[in-house]
Amino acid sequence: MYFISTRGNERVTGAEAVVQGLAKDGGLFVPEKFPSVSAEEMERMLAMDYPERAALVLSKYFDEYDKDELLSALKAAYAQFDDGDAAPLVKVENGMFMLELYHGPTCAFKDMALTVLPYLLRKGCDLLGIKETVLILVATSGDTGKAALEGFRDREGVKIMVVYPDDGVSKMQKLQMCTQDGENVNVVAVKGNFDDCQTTVKRIFHSEECKEELAKRNIRLSSANSINFGRLAPQIAYYFSAYLDLVSSEQIKMGDKVDFTVPTGNFGNILAAYYAKQMGLPVGRLVCASNRNNVLTDFLLRGVYDVSKRPFFKTMSPSMDILISSNLERLLFELSGRDAALTAERMESLVKTGKYSVRAEELKSIREQFYAGYASEDDTVDCVYEFFTEYGYPMDPHTGVAMFVAERYHESLEKETPPVTPAPMVVVSTASPYKFPQAVYYALTGNDVKDSFKGIKRINLLTAMKVPESLKEIRYKPIRFKTSVSADKIFEEVLKFVG
């Protein structure tokens, strides 16, 4: 399997795509053609456990990796998850299901890929004969940072540095990162928002001068953000697994269509669902759920992406506080008929003018495949409260955003003439409620709590939901990382870190 750049100037193997992260022309790597999962393979996957299902999906993309070794790596990765079930599907009511992706080491869906990426990267380096130390440089809006730090800590031949917006993550997310163990890790706060972090990190990747400075130190750059296909690919697997769980539990028949609602910021998680559909998964509509930073909602409804004058809001769902959704470039590439020149032109327009638009036929395709909506802060609070009151099911704010938009989507179907019967809906639950204790406690009770650990205790008393051990122990860990810089100083911190 080969991968090509969305901007047209590169063709590489899977190992090269993982190790390199970004294409040299600034584009993102996408499969040269989408592999398919046949009906016979789907039937075989019914009897498989989660690592086996994931191995089948990943082997379609990374065919130069040994299949048995890949399966062993996936079994080791997902053995770190609670109760040995990486992606449990929970039935809420008839036709509505929650795909819980937060049972890993850092209590967020990023663990689904970032427990696997270290293997893909290390093995990729071995296949390519790369001997330099690899520096993983990560911009995070909260969850990716901790999951990447935990996945790569003390890995041989790797260093990892995470930058995050100083005032743009939850208190628990910040504690998770700043107390991180490991001799090869570094965490730096940035005075700005996530887009400032992400833009600067991309600039470093594109800079020949930065690469030369690192090469002098025998350092090679790579990424753990979802711009790296090695981060994106493991996420495709859980959409297949959720569908197969619906079949095996007799909620649907093989071949029936299923809708997915995904809380979305950088567009990676919902793009993985779109890729699953391209591989043959019977997906109906993909429901893109945004918070108050609803640039994706506007784009998917109107076909115009415009951040030129759009304000940035800090919300209770900080992992979605993003205005520049990097993975949307991959969708644009597909919608345009894989027109790399047009994709590059649009990305250049975004940099220069803060906006771009798509053609009428592309917008028609978007509307056929996607539904888009957003939740205000009040909408999110009300949804978390009402859902717990009705079902006894606690949700984090990001999942609250998703559930609110899923319900609005079903209401829109009822208003059709004649009314449309919705397909079964899987809502993707991306984080443990305990990662956002202040926001969840407020939503459930209307009361504020300043201390994160008091919030955890009070939520536990209210819900009886088990508190993850990894969050309990943070309370007693020392703060290791306190550096805060402006975005233009990030590369200076990189050089200090690598020595």
What single-letter amino acid sits at 201?
Answer: V
Q: Which residues pair with 99 in a beta bridge?
A: 89, 428
Does a cis peptide bond (omega within 30 degrees of 0) precede residue 418? yes
Select from 325, 320, 319, 326 the least CA-distant residue to 292.
320
Rg, Å, the chain Cα set: 21
* CA-based nearest residue to 296, from 333, 321, 260: 321
Provide the β-strand partners of residue 159. Answer: 135
Query: For residue 184, what are its two tokens?
Result: 């090869």
110 included as an active-site residue: yes
How many other C-beta atoms are found inside a 10 Å radius of the C-beta of residue 367? 14
- Encode 172-196: b = buried (16+ Cβ within 10 Å), e = exposed: bbbbbbbbbeeebbbbbbbebbbbb
Cα distance between residue 125 and residue 21, in whole Å: 12
Please, what is the angle between helix 67-78 and helix 50-61, to 10°?
140
Burial profile 297-319: b = 16 or more Cβ within 10 angstroms, e = fewer: bbbbbebebbbeeeebeebbbbb
Please check whether residue 38 is in contact with residue 280, taking contact to mean a CB–CB distance below 8 angstroms.
Answer: yes
Neighbours of 378 (CB within 10 A): 8
> Which residues, in sequence order, are bridge partners of residue 135?
159, 221
User: Among positive and negative, which fits the CA dihedral 62, 66, 71, 73?
Assistant: negative
The encoded tokens of residue 386 equal 């009402």
CA distance 262 to 276: 14
> d(Cα 99, Cα 84) in Å, to the nearest integer?
15
**Annotated catalytic residue, options 110, 174, 202, 435:** 110
Distance of alpha carbon 126 from alpha carbon 144, whole angstroms: 25
Contact predicate 73/65, CB 8 Å: no
Look-up of token digits 């025998």: 218
DSSP 265: S
Residues with Cβ < 8 Å from 314, sequence gap 6 or more?
167, 168, 193, 321
Just list the catalytic residues: 110
